Amino acid sequence: MALISQSSQAARPAAPASHNPDAADAAMDVNAGVTGKALVDLILSQLDDDKAEDVTTIDLTGKSDIADAMIIASGRSQRHVGALADHIARELKDAGKGTPSMEGLPACDWVLIDAGDVIVHLFRPEVRAFYNLERIWSPEAHADAAAARAVTGAQSGAH
């Protein structure tokens, strides 16, 4: 599913000895390559291939400027969470997105992957239950917050 063929990689000029290819990839624009629904589908496909559990996709359009979608999934163990993160990072790099920013890899209890238009949260089940991101980002939570702001605004305007 890679967008860059092996032959095009071989045609690149040799890097200088002091050049770190991983650093160059990290500097690539995370908004390059696949975007939007194709990016979500790419990540969901990889999670399915790797047997991630309880995969949830939350549409963030109109809720946040940081991303268009959030994907939350669980791994069975720290090792499984780490493998999920590693495979997603490789798939994103192969799709032309560069190396994504990742947080939480040493412990692998909760790994966050910033894929540009999509934010991916990978959890061990106990940690996921504790933070309950689905509740925070649910449409009901945003409706409750908007209603609370409306009530507060109406009360302050009544004085």
The model's pTM: 0.70
Answer whether residue 156 shows pLDDT above 90: no
As a whole number of angstroms, the distance between CA 121 and CA 66 comes to 14
Mean pLDDT of the region 50-55? 97
Pair of tokens at residue 112: 């966050």
Mean pLDDT of the region 89-115? 95
The class that CATH gives domain 29-150 is alpha beta
Q: Single out the residue of 103, 137, 116 nearest to residue 38, CA to CA.
A: 116
Q: Does 114 or 2 have the greater pLDDT score? A: 114
Predicted pLDDT at 143: 60
Q: In terms of C-beta density within 10 A (0-12 exposed, 13-18 middle, 19 or more buried), how is residue 113 classed? A: buried
Answer whether residue 72 shows pLDDT above 90: yes
Predicted pLDDT at 21: 42
Structure-token match 């997105």, residue found: 97
